[in-house]
Chains A and B, each alone.
Chain A
Amino acid sequence: MTDPADPFSEQRRHDGVKLVRAEGQDVPLLLRLRDIKDVCNDTQSFSNDNPLMIILHSEAAVRDVRQLPIESDPPDHTEYRALVEPRFRRPKAPEYQAGIGAIIDSLLDDCLGSAEVEVVRGFALPLQSRGLAQLLGVDESEADLWISWGIHVFRDNELGPKGSELDRYLLAKIEEARESKGDDFFSELNRAEFRGRKLTVEEKHGFANMAFAGGRDTVIHTVSGVIAYVAQHPEALEFLREDANRINTAAEEFVRYVSPLTVITRTCPHATEVLGHEVAAGGRIGLCWPSANRDETVFRSPDQVILDRKPNPHIGFGFGPHNCLGQHQARAILRGLLRAVCDRVERVDLIAAEPEIEQESSYSRQVGYKSLRVRFCGR
């Protein structure tokens, strides 16, 4: 049995590759940090330009639009990304972070007043959704609708004749904001120009779909992981309170340790070989972020959470031209969460935890929780 926390360790040490079955192909997953970085830098041999195929399994059942900017290559990608990058950098501003802090405080008020909280749906999902409303510059009440969609809107929805609920919603929002001069994401997409022309509806839809999909499970799993860790390690909060710099190192360490995104793929336009594995033209390889982030040639005690780990050269947010656009949002949420919990929570009591297990042909891995029931005790 391999450890569900790091099912890649043996092969990472041995030959750096694990094969996994997906869409009729044995996809070689790269497991070592340096090999993955090399691939990220070589966008000509390892392309993102393969719509619906960016994660391990095809997403044809849950969407029909090319996600932007992720499912494109330079030079298009560079220009697409630049259109939305300023908005995704807003979370670096202190006023923005104060807004995220207010969202966290109001959720903690509720948690501290309850005998029991199911963290995934009762805390992480609303935090992620309200945070996204702030990022996109839309009314907070929109988040209530997104919350009502639940956790699985991107995975379990078979596309009906009119697309998924999310896609219908996004297209309606884009249409609604057609003439708007507003400072929200949908209005901004309508105003944006790509090489001297307006974006097509498909392009706008692709940006919007990505903004919703990219930051959902990733943030929810990492936030749940933080709360689960604090519940299992009561001494952690005192340790974090001793030195303000630890808020930051701990946030990075949780991104490394949780690595909520198991695999992102690249498609090889030409036949190639990776670490001795042949890949046919059109075939895919996988970049295994959680494995890179436990590479024992890079990280001391990689299986341990070290809250003041520094240096910590993790690639939880990816690497190279496609590195995560939502990383500033994710950091604002994680740092704000750790700060608020240190200030207001004495301890978190674990009531019951049911891990979420990703089951693939050659490994199973825990990614977050199906359900995490706890009690928050105030200071």
Chain B
Amino acid sequence: MPTITFTSQNGESTTIDDAEGDLMSLAVKHGVQGIEGDCGGVCSCGTCHVQVDPAWIDKTGPATDEEREVLDFEQSATANSRLCCQIEMSPELDGLVVRVVRS
């Protein structure tokens, strides 16, 4: 079953097995530091910002236009930035690694 790993600013990493649903909800459920998900996943608050490991960006795809409405105003955003509430776990993403941007 698919596995996802979040690495936080403090160097800690959290690996979640049998991951289902969107990444933000998974991170909040497992207490990943730096992921708040305040707006509940509608792409408004920007508190679930991650950078996708370059090896994975083709599989997750880049940020959508709506994510860009938020990310374009974040100084720390890069081409690999995503709001992880907009990424749904799937078998193709098994082994995905993302870096949490906020501490």
Contact = CB atoms under 8 A, between A and B. Distances in A.
Most buried by A among B44, B66, B67: B44
Interface in A250-273: 251-252
A226 B86 CA distance: 26
A365 interface: no
Interface residues of B, number: 17
Contact of B44 (A40, A41, A313, A328): A313
Contacts of B70: 313
A311 B38 contact: no
Interface of A: 33-34, 37-38, 40-41, 92, 248-249, 251-252, 298, 309-315, 317, 319-320, 327-328, 331
Residue with the highest number of chain A CB atoms closer than 10 Å, among B64, B66, B73: B73
A38 B44 CA distance: 16
Give the one of B38, B39, B41, B43 with max A CB within 10 A: B39
A64 to B, nearest CB: 33
Nearest to B47: A323
B69 interface: yes
B73 A311 contact: no
A262 B70 CA distance: 21
A248 B36 CA distance: 15
Interface in B18-71: 36, 38-45, 64, 66-67, 69-70
Contacts of A317: 45
B40 A313 contact: no
Contact of A38 (B38, B67, B73): B73
Given A34-B69, A41-B73, A312 B38 contact: no
A313 B43 contact: yes
B38 A319 contact: no
17 contacts: A33-B69, A40-B73, A92-B36, A249-B42, A252-B39, A252-B44, A309-B42, A311-B43, A311-B66, A311-B67, A311-B86, A312-B39, A312-B42, A312-B44, A314-B42, A314-B44, A331-B40
A309 B39 CA distance: 12
Q: By DSSP majority rule, is chain B's interface helix, strand, loop, or mixed? A: loop
A319 B70 CA distance: 10
Interface of B: 36, 38-45, 64, 66-67, 69-70, 72-73, 86
**Of listed A313, A319, A320, residue having the most chain B CB within 10 A:** A313
Contacts of B66: 298, 311, 313
B4 to A, nearest CB: 20
Contact of A298 (B39, B69, B86): B69
A317 B69 CA distance: 15
Nearest to A247: B40
Contact of A248 (B41, B43, B69, B73): B41
B42 A310 contact: yes
Nearest to B28: A92
User: Interface centre among A311, A312, A327, by most B CB within 10 Å?
Assistant: A311
Contacts of A298: 66, 69
B40 A252 contact: yes
A319 B47 CA distance: 12
B73 A310 contact: no
B73 A319 contact: yes
Contacts of B45: 317, 327
Given A327-B38, A328-B38, A331-B38, A312 B43 contact: yes
Closest 6 CB pairs of A and B: A311-B43, A248-B40, A311-B66, A312-B42, A313-B69, A37-B73
A231 B95 CA distance: 48
B40 A311 contact: no
A328 B39 CA distance: 9
A92 B40 CA distance: 11
